[in-house]
């Protein structure tokens, strides 16, 4: 990951050497973005290209398809080959449109891996909504939008939050900090220039 100034951080999206199971891919979505994927050409020959009709989740759909329909492994490399920006201004997409893209992903995966979707849909949905709530906080969107997403996440699969309460609390803290920041700067006078 690189920060807003382009400086490399020590952060990676996924532990090096870890091989992802289909359920981990579906629930945790460990890739930061399509720009972080390194894919052999022969993989595309085996499972096909990205679905150009999809928006927002085409990278995740491809790796889930690779894992479900081939013998190829999906894992993090020991070396950092790509850099992904942490700058939130680069991710100003409509969060509800992103969620609809995720729903399209689930519908597509249910065609070739129906058991996977049936077993993990609620948990995957909860985690996706929680990631969107985190993004709302990073983008300093209105508190109501972030809380709505987090509430939907909690209702989607309550057991996820009982097993990992710090995940929800961390998102709630990020939303509160974002709301405080928005409130603090809302009343500052605009510069005359």
Split the chain (193 residues) into runs of 10 and give each run's mean pLDDT.
54 62 84 67 85 81 88 75 55 80 94 96 94 88 88 91 85 82 59 52
- Residue 92: per-residue pLDDT: 55
Nearest alpha-carbon partner for 127 in 65, 70, 179, 60: 60
- Residue 144: per-residue pLDDT: 87
Record the pTM. 0.77
Domain ranges of the chain: 22-185
- Residue 171: per-residue pLDDT: 84
Q: How far apart are CA 63 and CA 19, in angstroms?
A: 12
Percent of the chain as helix, strand, coil, to the nearest 5:
60, 5, 35
């Amino acid at each position: 990951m690189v920060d807003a100034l382009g400086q490399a951080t020590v952060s990676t999206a996924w532990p090096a050497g870890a091989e992802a199971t289909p359920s981990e891919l579906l629930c945790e979505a460990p890739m930061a973005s399509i720009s972080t994927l390194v894919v052999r050409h022969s993989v595309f020959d085996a499972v096909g290209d990205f679905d150009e009709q999809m928006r927002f989740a085409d990278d995740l759909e491809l790796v889930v398809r690779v894992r479900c329909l081939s013998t190829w492994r999906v894992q993090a490399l020991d070396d950092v080959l790509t850099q992904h920006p942490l700058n939130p201004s680069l991710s100003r997409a409509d969060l509800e449109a992103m969620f609809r893209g995720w729903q399209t992903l689930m519908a597509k995966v249910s065609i070739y891996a129906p058991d996977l979707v049936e077993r993990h849909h609620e948990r995957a949905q909860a985690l996706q909504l929680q990631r969107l709530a985190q993004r709302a906080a990073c983008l300093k969107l209105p508190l109501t939008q972030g809380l709505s997403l987090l509430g939907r996440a909690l209702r989607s699969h309550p057991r996820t939050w009982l097993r990992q309460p710090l995940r929800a609390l961390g998102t709630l803290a990020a939303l509160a900090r974002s709301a405080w920041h928005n409130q603090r700067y809302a009343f500052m006078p605009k510069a005359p220039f």
